């Protein structure tokens, strides 16, 4: 019988692998002691260190001990009473020596658990560890004897093992556990030694200690705060049609997190698994994954900066698709305008008020009986001509398409999908499964079936001949169903797919996993809905992207999808769903933008002024202010709600909307350049302060302000009747965007800023050059205007920036080199413009007309400012220096955008 001291020493002998030189003959492990747990004195584990062995209902001493777990009450709120004993008889142990593989090693593990949890446990599993790059480790735990569902995402695999990884891998043999260590700081960034590794057919579990409590990510949820609350929270992940109101699983499936370690290094972890799962967070700090299918396929990214982590994740899941320039304009939508007449009224009022406005939408009310590929010939009589008129004004029109196809003979979209059958089939694999959605009884296109591509493309293309839409908004693709399961079956057959033995913490009715969707045993071309459910929106996005490539071979378009999976950002964009017109949702939208930027969707925003419920003018006013700086800036409203477009309220509201949107349009060259960087290397567009000031822990919890890229800070008002904003200014030079005043007092502090109704606080960070352009009513017209620069100097009077420019819409302009990249750098009082790539010359002879230099305290008033071009040197006439603010303004310039120049003021 083991005593306490022996137990303490068990299973902690770690054998560190150096690279892969696996000298595995040297084994220091201690054999597992077979002492019966109930018979030995054990250390009672303090509440916060316990790992839950009985998450479902029905926990009792008996049911707990049946799992060979320990039952003991605790006062710690949220902590489990039934938990894994550190030396319990669980998990797996190595049953062979690791063997070397091309990128690492693999080893077989044998199951130790005596009691199975839900049955069908794999007695033998295999873990394969790959050192894929110096920053990326891949490990996969699978069943070597039985093939299982794996997410069909193509992931790059290098040819050779990483030469100098930032991480080291070690393990214990019995029970088997894995440790991933950041070499530079000796931090264990992943450590599964707390046990509980389970690999059953429908219950897979793995847990890890976390090196700190600064944890971000996982989705799609309404987390409310960016830094996750580790106080015993269980977040379910499984795509679901539901408004983002509470702590439940939403439209997307993103098992990715980032953690900032003590000392400021960041790492990230992606579990490539599409099955319904739980993410359990606890204050230890630690987290547990419990998924009900697939394999445990992990990617670990070692940064070391937050941006590096997101970029490394993007390398695995794919880079965000480049957006067309016009999509950066303001957009207007509502569900149920009632008639085309009403749309025209709203559209005209916007134009009359001179409010910048690039895109108008058609929500499902444009359709005839809510059927895709039709339009209401009565209420929307004249829609095709209206869309042409919209185009004539330099604007775009986007239509919505739902995933559901009405089951109706004679309806072309339905008939043409039957042979070959491109729909998701019933469990027998014979007839399409039928649910009920907007058009009533409907079938579900199987976007995993290659045969569906031609069908979908033909429908979209034929409909484009009727209404010349510019992009697609694809909705309801979780996929949603207004009834549970299917009409034919009266819900779903009783089997292990529809009634899995373990149910994660999902939003369900009567504990049914097929709540608001189709049966889990429905058949797709590539598998069961059980495994493919969360990939439905992803597959629909990919097919819609390919469709638009066929439709517009030369031009970029948009696929705006509600449901998404890891990597959907390669094809599509996302909005934050059917939010509500409540003040707190304005704050939460910042969190949502941060998270989706991590997930590879830099183009993101919430419905401005809220979707459900009636807004108030004040709420809508403040929401228009922050929304003017959502990358995806769309005011969209629910059916039956009071109008909330910018001209629906007072003249003051219209004026404010115009003014703030003109500032947005002025900043578009900077924003567009950020999208180029996002497309190239997955950097974020909307960025939390912590990504830029990671060495300052005060930034770790800031989610009421956000940055565009590294240099432009937005600090909105988020509450009613509030005229002061608290904003943190990390230690750097910051300037008021509007007049260049330096925020000297506020530097390094949490500052109180005046925020009267007409004012949105915007600041520019020293050290950056931001390209701008005179705004206009649409991007088509703003792109014709002169450019300018905001040069914001840092402590050393230096600055850097760039400008990406192309025609704004050619497909693959970056890949084809049909763009220009212009760099700006400042040092010693000299601004140097360099053309790095000159693959695109704008036909409109664009030039830089105005340059504002913020923080120019190195300028001596009266000194000539000299400009040097290929044509020679000359002093600038239009020089104004404000010695109160140290802003040096140069105007009346005509510096050709493609000709290098320098400007010297010292
Ligand atoms: C992993 O966690 C265990 C249990 O807390 C601890 O004893 C061990 O030192 C950790 N491993 C590393 C490499 O930090
Ligand atoms: C924008 O301005 C241009 C030029 O004045 C005009 O032709 C166009 O119709 C305007 N578009 C909108 C949407 O106001
Ligand atoms: C929907 O379809 C069902 C079955 O065909 C029918 O009974 C019902 O009346 C329909 N509902 C509507 C609103 O058309
Ligand atoms: C919104 O306002 C309209 C008009 O006053 C009213 O009919 C409707 O019931 C309101 N809706 C909600 C959800 O409050
Ligand atoms: C205003 C807003 O968008 N709030 C929330 C909407 O829902 C998403 C989740 O889809 C949240 O992340 C947002 O914060």
pLDDT tens column, 734-774: 999 999 999 999 999 999 999 999 999 999 999 999 999 99
* Ligand showing the shortest atom-to-Cα distance for residue 583: 5
Q: What is the 614 CA–ligand 4 centroid distance (Å)? A: 6
Does pLDDT of 11 surpass 70? no
Q: What gap in Å lies between CA 138 and CA 106, rounded to an integer?
A: 12
- Judge contact between 703 and 691, C-beta under 8 A: no
Q: Where is pLDDT greater, at 10 or 609?
A: 609
Residues of the chain with pLDDT > 70: what percent?
A: 95
Put residue 186 in one of left, alpha, beta given phi > 0 → left and psi -120 to 50 → alpha. Answer: left
User: Is 615 close to ligand 4, i.e. is its CB under 6 Å away?
Assistant: no
Which ligand 5 atom is nearest residue 586's CA? 1
3-state secondary structure string across 756-767: CCCCCEEEEECC
With b for 16 or more beta-carbon neighbours within 10 A and e for fewer, the 267-292 pattern comes to bbbbbbbbbbbbbbbbbbbbbbbbbb
Output the pLDDT for position 87.
Answer: 75
Please report how many Cα atoms fall inside a 13 Å half-sphere around the Cα of residue 435, on the Cβ side: 29
Entry pTM: 0.94
Query: Which of the four pLDDT bands, split at 50, 70 and 90, describes residue 668?
Result: very high
Does pLDDT of 854 surpass 80? yes
Output the pLDDT for position 655.
Answer: 98
Nearest Cα to Cα of residue 643 among 635, 632, 634: 635
Does pLDDT of 629 surpass 70? yes
User: Is 576 close to ligand 5, i.e. is its CB under 6 Å away?
Assistant: yes
* Ligand showing the shortest atom-to-Cα distance for residue 638: 4
Query: Which of the four pLDDT bands, split at 50, 70 and 90, describes residue 26?
Result: very low
Mean pLDDT of 419-436: 95
Residues 6+ apart with CB under 8 A from 213: 230, 283, 285
Does pLDDT of 23 surpass 70? no
Q: What is the 808 CA–ligand 1 centroid distance (Å)? A: 52
- Return the CATH fold of 47-84: Spasmolytic Protein; domain 1 (4.10.110)
- Judge contact between 129 and 139, C-beta under 8 A: yes
- pLDDT tens for 122-171 read 999 999 999 999 999 999 999 999 999 999 999 999 999 999 999 999 99
Output the pLDDT for position 14.
Answer: 34
Output the pLDDT for position 152.
Answer: 95
Please report how many Cα atoms fall inside a 13 Å half-sphere around the Cα of residue 840, on the Cβ side: 22
Output the pLDDT for position 28.
Answer: 25
Structure tokens that stand for 548 in this block: 């638009």
Put residue 695 in one of left, alpha, beta given phi > 0 → left and psi -120 to 50 → alpha. Answer: alpha
Top-tier CATH class for 786-904:
mainly beta
User: Is 614 close to ligand 4, i.e. is its CB under 6 Å away?
Assistant: yes
Q: What is the 477 CA–ligand 5 centroid distance (Å)? A: 18
Nearest Cα to Cα of residue 205 among 325, 314, 122: 122
Cross-strand partners of 297 = 140
- pLDDT tens for 318-343 read 999 999 999 999 999 999 999 999 99
Residues of the chain with pLDDT > 90: what percent?
A: 90
Query: Which of the four pLDDT bands, split at 50, 70 and 90, describes residue 489?
Result: low
Cross-strand partners of 288 = 207, 280
Nearest Cα to Cα of residue 592 among 225, 289, 71, 116: 225
Q: Which residue has the tokens 């916060």?
A: 48
Mean pLDDT of 227-241: 97
Task: Tell me if domain 4-42+85-317 and domain 786-904 are identical in fold.
Answer: yes
Output the pLDDT for position 21.
Answer: 31
Output the pLDDT for position 115.
Answer: 82
Residues 6+ apart with CB under 8 A from 296: 140, 141, 142, 199, 204, 206, 271, 273, 289
Nearest Cα to Cα of residue 401 among 451, 448, 361: 361
- Annotated domain spans of the chain: 4-42+85-317, 47-84, 786-904
- Mean residue pLDDT of the chain comes to 93
Lowest mean pLDDT among 53-57, 198-202, 494-498, 503-507: 53-57
Q: What is the 802 CA–ligand 1 centroid distance (Å)? A: 45
Output the pLDDT for position 196.
Answer: 87
User: Is 778 close to ligand 2, i.e. is its CB under 6 Å away?
Assistant: yes
Q: What is the 194 CA–ligand 1 centroid distance (Å)? A: 8
With b for 16 or more beta-carbon neighbours within 10 A and e for fewer, the 29-43 pattern comes to beeebebebeebebe
Which residue CA neighbors atom 11 of ligand 2 most closely? 393
User: Is 353 close to ligand 4, i.e. is its CB under 6 Å away?
Assistant: no
Between helices 583-598 and 617-627, what is the axis angle to 10°? 20
User: Is 586 close to ligand 5, i.e. is its CB under 6 Å away?
Assistant: yes
3-state secondary structure string across 108-144: EEEECCCCCCCCCECCEEEEEEEECCCCEEEEEEECC
3-state secondary structure string across 150-196: CCCCCCCCCCCCCCCCCEEEEEEECCEEEEEEECCCCEEEEECCCCC
Output the pLDDT for position 755.
Answer: 98
Mean pLDDT of 375-399: 98
Mean pLDDT of 807-825: 98
Output the pLDDT for position 85.
Answer: 84
User: Is 487 close to ligand 3, i.e. is its CB under 6 Å away?
Assistant: no
Which residue CA neighbors atom 2 of ligand 5 most closely? 589
Lowest mean pLDDT among 212-221, 409-418, 426-435, 661-670: 426-435
Query: Which of the four pLDDT bands, split at 50, 70 and 90, describes residue 407?
Result: very high
Cross-strand partners of 52 = 83
Q: What gap in Å lies between CA 706 and CA 588, rounded to an integer?
A: 12
CB neighbours of residue 147 within 10 Å: 9
Q: What gap in Å lies between CA 8 and CA 11, rounded to an integer?
A: 8
* Ligand showing the shortest atom-to-Cα distance for residue 643: 4
User: Is 189 close to ligand 1, i.e. is its CB under 6 Å away?
Assistant: no
**DSSP code per residue over 375-393:** --TTTTTTHHHHHHHHHHT
Query: Which of the four pLDDT bands, split at 50, 70 and 90, describes residue 89?
Result: confident
Checking DSSP bridges between strand 286-291 and strand 203-209, what pairing results, if any? antiparallel
- pLDDT tens for 587-614 read 999 999 999 999 999 999 999 999 999 9
Which ligand 5 atom is nearest residue 580's CA? 1
Which ligand 1 atom is nearest residue 179's CA? 13
Query: Which of the four pLDDT bands, split at 50, 70 and 90, describes residue 776?
Result: very high
Phi/psi for 460 (5° steps) reads -65, -40
Query: Which of the four pLDDT bands, split at 50, 70 and 90, describes residue 781?
Result: very high
> Hey, which bits of 339-462 come out as E strands?
359-362, 396-402, 405-406, 434-437, 440-443
Structure tokens that stand for 891 in this block: 């105007």
Q: What is the 303 CA–ligand 5 centroid distance (Å)? A: 27
Q: What is the 441 CA–ligand 3 centroid distance (Å)? A: 7
Which residue CA neighbors atom 13 of ligand 2 most closely? 393
Does pLDDT of 36 surpass 60? no
Structure tokens that stand for 497 in this block: 């797919």
CA torsion angle for 583, 585, 590, 596 (degrees, to 10)? -170
User: Is 847 close to ligand 4, i.e. is its CB under 6 Å away?
Assistant: no
Please report how many Cα atoms fall inside a 13 Å half-sphere around the Cα of residue 162, on the Cβ side: 19
Q: Which CATH architecture has domain 4-42+85-317?
A: Sandwich (2.60)
> Hey, which bits of 32-123 come out as E strands?
70-71, 82-83, 92-94, 99-100, 104-111
Which residue CA neighbors atom 2 of ligand 2 most closely? 777
Q: Where is pLDDT greater, at 15 or 293?
A: 293
């Amino acid at each position: 019988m083991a005593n306490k001291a022996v137990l303490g020493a068990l299973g902690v002998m770690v054998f560190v692998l150096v690279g892969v030189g696996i000298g595995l003959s040297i084994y220091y492990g201690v054999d597992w002691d077979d002492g019966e747990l109930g018979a030995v004195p054990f250390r009672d584990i303090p509440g916060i260190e316990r790992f839950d062995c009985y998450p479902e209902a029905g926990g009792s001493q008996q049911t707990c001990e049946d799992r060979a777990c320990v039952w003991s009450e605790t006062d710690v709120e949220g902590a489990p009473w039934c938990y894994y004993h550190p030396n319990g008889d669980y998990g797996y142990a190595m049953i062979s020596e690791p063997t070397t593989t091309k990128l690492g090693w693999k080893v077989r593990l044998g199951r130790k658990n005596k009691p199975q949890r839900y049955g069908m446990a794999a007695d033998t599993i295999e873990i394969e560890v790959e050192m894929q790059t110096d920053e990326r480790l891949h490990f996969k735990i699978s069943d070597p004897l039985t093939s299982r569902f794996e997410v069909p995402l193509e992931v790059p695999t290098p040819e050779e093992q990483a030469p100098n990884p930032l991480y080291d891998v070690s393990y214990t043999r019995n029970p088997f556990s894995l440790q991933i260590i950041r070499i530079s700081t000796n931090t264990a960034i992943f450590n599964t030694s707390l046990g509980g590794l389970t690999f059953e057919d429908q219950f897979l579990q793995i847990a890890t200690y976390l090196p700190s409590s600064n944890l971000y990510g996982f989705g799609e949820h309404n987390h409310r705060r960016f830094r996750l609350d580790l106080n015993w929270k269980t977040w379910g992940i499984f795509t679901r049609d539901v408004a983002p109101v509470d702590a439940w699983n939403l439209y997307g499936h993103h098992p990715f997190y980032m953690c900032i370690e003590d000392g400021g290094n960041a790492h990230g972890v992606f579990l490539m698994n599409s099955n319904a799962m739980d993410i359990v967070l606890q204050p230890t700090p630690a987290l547990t994954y419990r998924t009900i299918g697939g394999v445990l396929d992990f990617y670990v990214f070692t940064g070391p900066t937050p941006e590096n982590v997101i970029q490394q994740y993007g390398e695995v899941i794919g880079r965000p698709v480049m957006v067309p320039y016009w999509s950066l304009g303001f957009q207007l939508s509502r569900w149920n305008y009632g008639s085309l007449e009403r749309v025209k009224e709203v559209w005209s009022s916007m134009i009359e008020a001179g409010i910048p406005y690039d895109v108008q939408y058609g929500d499902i009310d444009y359709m005839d009986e809510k059927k895709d590929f039709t339009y209401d010939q009565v209420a929307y009589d004249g829609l095709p001509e209206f869309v042409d008129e919209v185009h004539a004004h330099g604007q775009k029109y986007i239509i919505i398409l739902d995933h559901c196809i009405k089951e109706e003979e004679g309806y072309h979209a339905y008939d043409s999908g039957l042979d070959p059958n491109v729909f998701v089939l019933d469990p027998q694999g014979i007839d399409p499964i039928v649910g009920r959605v907007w058009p009533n009884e409907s079938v579900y296109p199987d976007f995993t079936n290659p045969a569906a591509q031609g069908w979908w493309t033909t429908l979209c293309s034929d409909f484009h001949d009727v209404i010349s839409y510019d992009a697609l908004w694809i909705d309801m693709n979780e996929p949603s169903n207004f009834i549970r399961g299917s009409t034919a079956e009266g819900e779903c057959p009783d089997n292990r797919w529809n009634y899995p033995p373990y149910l994660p913490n999902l939003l369900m009715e009567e504990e049914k996993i097929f709540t608001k969707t189709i049966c889990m045993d429905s058949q797709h071309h590539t598998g069961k809905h059980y495994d493919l459910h969360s990939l439905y929106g992803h597959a629909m996005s990919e097919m819609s992207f390919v469709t638009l490539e066929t439709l517009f071979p030369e031009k970029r378009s948009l696929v705006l999808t509600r449901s998404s999976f890891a990597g959907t950002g390669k094809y599509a964009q996302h909005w934050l769903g059917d939010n509500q017109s409540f003040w707190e949702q304005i704050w939460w939208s910042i969190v949502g933008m941060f998270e989706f930027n991590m997930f590879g969707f830099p183009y993101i925003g919430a419905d401005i002024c809220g979707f459900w419920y009636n807004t108030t003018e004040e709420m809508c006013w403040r929401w228009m202010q922050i929304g003017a700086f959502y990358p995806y800036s769309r005011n969209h409203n629910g059916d039956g709600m009071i109008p909330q477009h910018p001209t629906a309220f007072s003249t003051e509201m219209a004026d404010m909307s115009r003014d703030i949107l003109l500032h947005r349009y002025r900043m578009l060259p900077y924003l567009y350049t950020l999208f180029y960087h996002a497309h190239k290397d997955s950097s974020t567009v909307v960025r939390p302060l912590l990504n830029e000031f990671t060495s300052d822990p005060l930034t770790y919890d800031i989610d009421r302000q956000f940055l565009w890229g590294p240099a432009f800070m937005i600090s909105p008002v988020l509450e009613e009747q509030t005229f002061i904003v608290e904003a943190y200014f990390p230690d750097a030079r910051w300037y008021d965007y509007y007049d260049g005043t330096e925020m000297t007092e506020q530097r390094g502090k949490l500052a109180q800023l005046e925020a009267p109704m007409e004012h949105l606080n915007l600041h520019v960070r020293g050290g950056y050059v931001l390209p701008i352009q005179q705004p206009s009513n649409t991007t088509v017209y703003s792109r014709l205007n002169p450019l300018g620069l905001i040069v914001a100097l840092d402590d050393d009077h230096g600055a850097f920036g760039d400008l990406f420019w192309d025609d704004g819409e050619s497909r693959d302009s970056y890949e084809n080199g049909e763009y220009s990249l212009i760099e700006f750098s400042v040092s010693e009082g000299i601004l140097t413009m360099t053309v790095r790539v000159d693959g695109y010359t704008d036909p409109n002879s664009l030039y830089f007309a105005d340059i504002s230099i913020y923080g120019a305290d190195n300028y001596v008033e009266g000194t000539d400012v000299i400009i040097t071009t290929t044509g020679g040197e000359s002093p600038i006439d239009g020089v104004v220096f404000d010695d109160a603010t140290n802003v040096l303004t140069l105007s009346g310039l005509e510096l050709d955008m493609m000709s290098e120049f320098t400007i010297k003021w010292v």
